[in-house]
């Protein structure tokens, strides 16, 4: 009854193309943001930080990036882990080489490094599509990890081959290293996701976003109405890798504090992020966030309910989780390729008509 556009007349094109045209959504969004920034920091503890909030924020950033490439521009990629590794190692090199550099700048520059690498590995997309492109990005994944393990310069020739984030503060508050406070790391990552989710929304609603979607939906027609496929595809690879690189930097420096290429950024991560995008919704910013939330919460839920509460063996709980995720992915791929975001939209459309369905 409350959820409708009635009484809300759009008097300008500006209002018509607003992100949340319905007042109810606008308030909901403001409430979520207010709670995230003003309430959660006071309640957060180290367990919630490490098990839920930081993983969610890091993967949300990665999912936003992959969704730009796969969901908006239609280029399948299995190189997410590799590009996250680029972000992580770039972050490490920047932190150790330029001790004075403020952390936000480090993360952004690490993202830009990943963007440059993304452009290079995006070049095959000009010639090959779909499954073949996925295989080419797989090559990027394995090559990059191999490179970071092989060349000592990347890990400053440390004996273990690991990279460890040195302690850094931002505005006098520690954000990396072993002595950080949960609210500080949380707010740092949250600010990044908040700002860049908004940037992603802006990029996808205008000229550049339409050129990506045009390439995704019908590349020949896109080219004939004036989209330069080279620019569209490479810009999608660049922006996508920029996000994924920042996610890798936050993963390494803020969340884990240390990383080892082969383990941290394996092909498994590439698949997890791809599943987040598929489950959340291809071609949806909201879907990227929902997908990341869903797949970070699910394991925690399974572990706590099945293993801790009900006393099931942990391996059975873990296997059940994998089975459930697999089933959900099959379901969504067949039934609703636009994921949870689309289900949500359908519910809202029904709500808008309720209680008079006609």
Partner 1 sequence: MSLPPTAEAAADDQTYAVVEEEHGLSPRRVGPVVMDIRNITLRFGGVVAIKDISFDIREGEIRAIIGPNGAGKSSMLNVINGFYHPQEGEIWFRGEKRGSMKPHEIAKQGIARTFQNIALFKGMTTLDNIMTGRLTKMRRNMFWQAVWSGPAEAEEIEHREKVEKIIDFLEIQHIRKTPVGRLPYGLQKRVELGRALAAEPQLLLLDEPMAGMNVEEKEDMSRFILDVNEEFGTTIALIEHDMGVVMDISDRVVVLDYGRKIGDGTPDEVRTNQDVIDAYLGVAHD
Give residues in contact with partner 1 (CB under 8 A).
Answer: 12-14, 17, 199, 202-203, 205-211, 213-214, 216-218, 220-229, 235, 239, 283
Which two three-digit tokens encode residue 54?
């930081």
Smallest distance from partner 1 to CB 41, Å: 27
Nearer residue to partner 1 within complex by CB, 33 or 301: 33
Nearer residue to partner 1 within complex by CB, 210 or 303: 210
CB atoms < 10 A from the CB of 3, how many? Answer: 16
Smallest distance from partner 1 to CB 232, Å: 10
DSSP collapsed to 3 states, 90-122 = HHHHHHHHCCCCCHHHHHHHHHHHHHHHHHHHH
Nearer residue to partner 1 within complex by CB, 256 or 338: 338
Distances in whole angstroms, Cα of residue 198 to Cα of each of 57, 145, 204, 300: 14, 31, 10, 28
Nearer residue to partner 1 within complex by CB, 214 or 253: 214
Smallest distance from partner 1 to CB 192, Å: 14
* DSSP per position, 257-303: SEE-HHHHT-HHHHHHHHHHHHHH-TT-HHHHHHHHHHHHHHHHHHI
Nearer residue to partner 1 within complex by CB, 136 or 342: 342
- Name the region of 7 (left: φ>0; alpha: ψ -120 to 50; beta: rest): left
Nearer residue to partner 1 within complex by CB, 176 or 211: 211
Say how far apart CA 44 and CA 53 lie, in whole Å.
9
Q: How would you classify the pairing of strands 169-170 and 173-174? A: antiparallel
**H helix count then E strand count, the chain:** 17, 4
Say how far apart CA 205 and CA 208 lie, in whole Å.
8
């Amino acid at each position: 009854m409350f959820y409708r556009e009635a009484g809300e007349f759009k008097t300008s094109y500006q209002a018509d193309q607003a992100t949340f045209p319905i007042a109810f959504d606008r308030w909901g969004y403001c409430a979520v943001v207010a709670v995230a920034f003003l309430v959660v920091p006071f309640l957060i503890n180290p367990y919630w930080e490490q098990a839920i909030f930081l993983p969610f924020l890091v993967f949300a950033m990665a999912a936003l990036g992959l969704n730009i490439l796969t969901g908006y521009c239609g280029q399948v990629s299995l190189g997410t882990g590799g590009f996250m590794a680029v972000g992580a190692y770039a972050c490490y090199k920047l932190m150790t080489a330029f001790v004075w550099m403020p952390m936000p700048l480090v993360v952004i520059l690490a993202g830009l490094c990943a963007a440059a690498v993304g452009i290079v590995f995006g070049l095959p997309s000009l010639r090959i599509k779909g499954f073949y492109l996925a295989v080419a990005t797989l090559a990027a994944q394995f090559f990059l990890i191999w490179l970071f393990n092989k060349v000592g310069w990347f890990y400053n020739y440390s004996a273990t081959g690991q990279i460890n984030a040195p302690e850094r503060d931002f505005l006098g508050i520690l954000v990396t290293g072993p002595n950080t406070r949960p609210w500080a790391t949380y707010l740092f990552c949250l600010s990044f996701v908040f700002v860049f989710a908004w940037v992603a929304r802006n990029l996808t609603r205008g000229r550049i976003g339409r050129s990506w979607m045009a390439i995704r939906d019908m590349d020949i027609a896109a080219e004939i109405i004036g989209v330069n496929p080279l620019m569209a595809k490479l810009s999608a690879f660049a922006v996508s890798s920029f996000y994924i690189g920042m996610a890798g930097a936050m993963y390494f420096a803020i969340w884990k504090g240390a990383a080892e290429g082969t383990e941290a950024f394996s092909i498994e991560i590439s698949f997890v992020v791809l599943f987040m995008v598929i489950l959340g919704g291809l071609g949806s910013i909201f879907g990227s966030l929902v997908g990341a939330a869903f797949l970070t919460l699910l394991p925690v839920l399974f572990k706590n309910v099945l293993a801790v509460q009900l006393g099931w063996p942990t391996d059975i709980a873990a296997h059940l989780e994998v089975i459930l995720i697999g089933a959900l992915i099959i379901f969504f791929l067949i039934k609703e390729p636009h994921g949870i975001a689309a289900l949500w939209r359908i519910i809202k459309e029904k709500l808008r008509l309720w209680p008079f369905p006609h």
